Every structure is written in C-alpha cells, then in structure tokens.
Amino acid sequence: MTHQREIILAELKKSTDHPTADELYERIKRQLPRISLATVYRNLEILSTAGMIRKLEISGRQKRFDWDLREHHHISCLRCQRVDNIELEVQEMLPAQAEDRQGYDISGWRVEFFGLCPKCRKDTNNSQGEETMACAPKGLSDNQRQVLEALAKSKEACGSKDIAAATSLEAKQVSCQITALKKKGFVESPIRCKYTITPEGQGALGE
C-alpha cells in the first residue's frame, strides 16, 4: 500500500458519483501534482483485482470505479453518462434461475438500467433541438472552415457551385463538406440545393 495508492483509494471513497480513471486523475492531481495517469490506471486495476474496489463496465467506453462493495446495481444516463446506484429486491432469485445453464460456471451477475437522469430529462422538455446541438462535435477541418467562411460572406442562400467559385475547392468537395456541416448544425438549406450559414455556424467560425 503505497502513498499514491492510499490517496487514490481515499479520493474514490470521497466521491458519491462513479468516476472514470481520468476524472479521478484530475481530482488527485490537486494533492499529487506529479502523479501520472498511468499510475492511476495501474492502481485502480490492482485495487479492483484485490477486491478492494469494483470496476464497472457500463455506459460507453470509459470504465468507472465504485468503492462500495455491497451488492447493488446501477442506473446510467444515456445522455450525460452519469451513473447512480439502484437497489433491487429480486437479486437473490437471479443466480438461481441461471444456475447450471449452458454449462457455465457462473461467478457473478449484474443488472443495469438506463434512461435519462432528472437533469437531462428536464433539458429535453425545455428545448427539443438542444440534444442534437449538444452532441454535435464542434471542430472544423480546413475545408469545412473555407466553405463556412464563403457562406458567411454571402448575404443570400447560394448553391455549391457558387461556393466552389469563391473557394479553391471543387464543386464535388464542396457538396461533401456541406453534408458534414449540415450534420453539425452549422449550415441549413432554406431551399433545395441552396444553403445558408446558421447562427451556430457563425459561432463556430468565431472561435
């Protein structure tokens, strides 16, 4: 039990959420500014194989960690990835049902619920468009920026040929970028084959 390992465990026990390795890393850096992310990963792995903490493999790519070893299950938000605890009473029935099935030697089980957490639920009700907004990536490639700048200069909606003339790009490439920009919500098409920049697109250019 090294110093860093103690800090990592203490920091995890302080947390009421179920932090990911890098979230924990950010919090620990305040106490141990020189600690490395690899050390956090290594010690979380050691602690979980030693059975001192639990590793949760839910809700997307990043694994989350839980200091609470008592038997309980989780509910996670599909929008913001938040994870909360949830208690169930039917737990005992589950392993019995599955026993001796398929010839597996069953060593564990888990129940997971997912849906929208109260906060995300409220956000959805207030504004429908926001969910696509929040999810769309904000970065712009060079080509996308060129197209967007050309659109910003034009007062009226223009076709991809006009844009191609205004930039160094070919018409084909322009159409390709427009599709990507539409998906990000930076461009819209008031008439078929004519495009304008959206307020969000303006904002993206300014950054």
Partner DNA sequence: CTTGACTCAGGAATGATTATCATATAGTTT
Partner DNA sequence: AAACTATATGATAATCATTCCTGAGTCAAG
- Smallest gap from residue 6 Cβ to a copy of itself (A): 23
43 binds, among DNA, a copy of itself, none (CB under 5 to 8 A by kind): DNA
- Selected range binding a copy of itself among 36-44, 109-117, 162-170, 179-187, rule: CB under 8 A: 109-117
Q: Which helix (H) or strand (E) holds 2?
A: none
Answer yes or no whether residue 38 interacts with a copy of itself by CB under 8 A.
no
Of 24, 44, 117, 151, the one binding a copy of itself by CB under 8 A: 117
Give the SS3 label for residue 175.
helix
| CB nearer a copy of itself, residue 6 or residue 84 | 84
Identify whether the C-beta of residue 24 lies closer than 8 Å to the C-beta of residue 12.
yes
β-strand partners of 194: 191
Interface positions, 144-173, toward a copy of itself (CB under 8 A): none
- Three-state DSSP at 74 gives strand
Q: Which is nearer to DNA, 72 or 145 (CB)?
A: 145
Residues that bind DNA (CB under 7 A): 2-5, 20-22, 32, 34-39, 41-43, 45, 61-63, 137, 139, 141-144, 159-161, 170-173, 175-180, 189, 192-193
- With respect to a copy of itself, which residue has the nearer C-beta, 1 or 86? 86
Candidates 33, 34, 50, 105; binder of a copy of itself (CB under 8 A) is 105
Q: Could you give the CA distance from residue 130 to residue 79 in angstroms, rounded to a whole number? A: 12
90 DSSP 8-state letter: G
What CA–CA distance (Å, rounded) separates 122 from 87? 24
At closest approach, how far in Å is the CB of 63 from a copy of itself? 9
CB under 8 A: which stretch of 24-32, 88-96, 134-142, 174-182 binds a copy of itself? 88-96
CA-based nearest residue to 74, from 96, 94, 59, 90: 59
Residue 110 as a binder of a copy of itself (CB under 8 A): the answer is yes
Cβ atoms of residues 165 and 147 within 8 Å: no
Q: Measuring CA to CA, which residue among 44, 47, 46, 1 is closest to residue 21? A: 44
Angle between helices 37-49 and 3-14 (to 10 degrees): 80
Q: How many residues bind a copy of itself (CB under 8 A)?
A: 36
